[in-house]
Structure formats: structure tokens, C-alpha cells
Amino acid sequence: MGKLDGRIAIVTGAAQGIGNGSARVLAQNGATVILVDFAEAVEAAAEELKAQGLKADWRRADVSNLEAVQAMVDDIVAQYGRVDILHNNAGVNRRVKFEDIDPKTRDFIFGVNIIGVWNMAKAVYPYMIKQQYGRIINTSSVTGTRVVDEGQTTYSMTKGAVSALTRALAYEAGPHGITVNAVLPGWVRTPKVEQVCRDSRPDDPESAMRDMAAFIPLRRLCRIEEIGDLVAFLASDEATYITGTEMVIDGGSTLPETFDILHA
């Protein structure tokens, strides 16, 4: 018996990376998981889970479009009867200095990271109220909420907004049996991070990965499944009294007051 048996979960940004890892862990714990992404690869991601004997489905959607999101959620509920868990994970980033970023790029990042998170929560919320049960887990970040970096002003702003929404919605949703929490990852070994390492050091991308890990107290990057484990915990009955929290999962990377290269 899995701790999420019988639950219906939606995971956005699930074609790869954190969302894909989360979908896998939720399904391994017994949930039926609907993987959502704008990328065509979401179908293959869902089929891979099904090939492993897990319960999975998929939808393609632009989370920044409320009408499309609402239609998708309505369709999911019509097919599965309810929606219990939302992992609001879809997100994008563009590392651009503030003086160089243009309104089009700003609006793209805002559209996915803020509006998309709002849209998904808005679409599932009435169903969760009707059920008097729901688990909403938002992917925020340590960037913008705990630390900052050059070229990350716009991204940081969006993640601050996600954390603020988490707290505010948790306050409103509590009387309806709905919990709302956020996970704040640090450096995670996703396909995008691996690509950055390959681009920066094509001859030895693993050395770039090791250099990144050297500044993390646990001396490694987070595995995507470890984010999934935290999401599954927050979605389970083990976390019924946890709401409005921001759970940092960064291997201690935000602990140092300064980076000491002598100890790297």
C-alpha cells in the first residue's frame, strides 16, 4: 500500500527535471499522476511511467493561459472524478542583467512563474473546496527568497511571489481542509544544469558539476527524486498539520555567510 493510494495528482512542468522526478515519486507512492507540460515530450514522459507499471496520464497545456488551464482541469476531473494534489512546478528562467532585460522576456517569465502558478491553483481550488480536501505544493526557489545572483532579478521576483502566494493561500484554504506549501530547491541535478555544465566545459562537464558541489556543505547536487520525496511527504497524510511553510531543500548551500574558497 502506498501512502498516496487513490489520490489524483497533477504535476506541471513534468516533461523533465524536477517535475518529472516528482511525478515518478508520487506515482510510486500510489497516486494517479497527470503530467502537464507545454513540451511535446510530456507524452513520452507519461508513457515511460506507465511502462513501469505506474498510473500516469498526460496533458499538453500553456499554464499562462487561464482558459486552457481551466478546460484542462475540468477535463481531468471529468475523467478521474476529483483532484487531490497539485504540484505547481512549471517554471522558466532567463539569466539577463536588469539593464538588459526587455519587457517581452519579463512577461514570458512572469507568465509561467507567477501567472501560471496562480492559474493552476485557481483552477483546482473550487474542486478541492467541494471535496474539503486538497494538497497544493508550489515550487519556489532559494533564489529570490534566501539568496540572489547576478542576472536573476526577474526570476527572483517571481519566486518571491510564489512564496507569498503560498502563505496567503494557505491562510484562506485552511478551513476547507486544503494545505498549501512551497518547496525551495537549491542546486538540483536536472537536464538543464547538466547542459550548462556541458556548455561550459565540453571536455569535462563533470568537473563543472564537482566545482558547483564544492560550495554545498553536503558536497553534491540534489537529485530530482529527492524533491519528489519532499513533495510526496507534503501531499500525504503524514503532513496534515503542515501548511503555509517554505521547505528549503538545498544541501545547506544557503547556510554560509560567505563562500570560503579555501575550504572548497
Active site residues: 155
Nearest to 128 by CA among 174, 166, 88: 174
Question: In what helix (H) or strand (E) does residue 227 lie, and over which residues does it extend?
Answer: helix 224-235
131: which DSSP letter?
H
Specify the amino acid at residue 57. Answer: D
Q: Which residues does residue 59 pair with via DSSP β-bridges, in sequence order? A: 36
176: left (phi over 0), alpha (psi -120 to 50) or beta: alpha
CA 105 to chain centre: 21
Distance between CA 26 and CA 5 in Å, rounded? 10
User: How many other β-carbons are positioned within 10 Å of the β-carbon of residue 244?
Assistant: 16
Distance between CA 240 and CA 242 in Å, rounded? 6
CA 116 to chain centre: 12
Distance between CA 123 and CA 67 in Å, rounded? 9
CA separation, residue 87 to residues 67, 161, 179, 254 (Å)? 19, 16, 12, 24
Distance between CA 178 and CA 131 in Å, rounded? 9
